[in-house]
Every structure is written in C-alpha cells, then in structure tokens.
Structure 1
C-alpha cells in the first residue's frame, strides 16, 4: 500500500485546502483508541513537509509535533493524514490533522 494515499487511493489531504507549510499551526485529532486522554483536538505544528506525486498531481506529506494538554510536546514519528470526514476509518493511522476552524 502506498503510504501517501488512503485506502481509496485518495491523497492524504484534498487539494481544496491551503498547502501545508513548515511552522503552520494546525489541529491534531488523536485516534481515541490510542490517546492517553479523551480531550478532543490538540494543538500541533507542521515540522516537515515533502512533496509526493499522485496521478500526475503533487501533494505534501506532513509530519507534526503535537502539544497534548498537560503533557510535553512530542514529535509524531509517521506522516499524518489530513482529516477527511467522508473517508472511511483507517486502521493504520494514529490520528489525523486539519486546519483550525474559522470563527
């Protein structure tokens, strides 16, 4: 399986969102099966991106450092997929990220 795609062959994030960049603040949604507490989204910073080509289009894979409430910041070891509410649940990911909601 290509680690840059979802099971349905979709990119890790849709092209309609802004392009992720290093230093950008995002929200990380931990997988409730593995999170140490059920606190909702955590603050996160994009610490690395690299482009990957999928079906002739370029997308960015992102790595995050997350800031769980009451815990020390920690980098995530694996690329994190963009949260897509319409995508089926994946068993091979530990969480997802998304840009903060506009208020």
Structure 2
C-alpha cells in the first residue's frame, strides 16, 4: 500500500472540506501529530481511523484508498440541477419518487 498516496487523498478531502489538520484530527479523535503523519505517509492508519475519516470527510473509504478526481458536493448538486432543468414536470415527479425511495433504502442499509 502506498501510504503517501493515501495521505495525499486525505489531505485533498480535508482541504475540500476546509478543515485544518487540527480540526480534522479532533473530529476523528486522534492527535494533530498523528494526523500530520498520516497525511505525509509516515505512519500507517488503522481501519478504525480510516472509517472515521471517511465519515467525517463524507467520502467512501475507496475514495481515500484509491485516487479519484475530486468532485465536491456543490459541483455534484450543480450537475444534478443542470440535468433536472431539462426534465418535464412528470419526469421530475418520477425522479423525486426514485430519490425518496433511494434515501429510505440507504437509511435502512447504511
């Protein structure tokens, strides 16, 4: 495993969320020094810390472990709105039903 690359992913998501290292470390329950060492790849992170980081940063563990282009939440919302604006009223009602059903299913299974 490339711990430096993982650390850089964490750093990228931390900055996208406008967290300082201190703020993220506090939210995750680790020391600022440990957070710094994780970001620089100087230490391995535990599974528990990885999961906490993904929850706080609102990304999947895969997003942390594997490099993907960074698409922040507001960019995604803008893309969704652009697509929704092309829909008819009837299509929007169907899409809303799908979103509601998906949210219910996600809350049951996550």
* TM-score greater than 0.5 by the shorter chain: no
Structure with more of its chain in helix, by fraction: 2
Report the TM-score when normalising by structure 2.
0.27
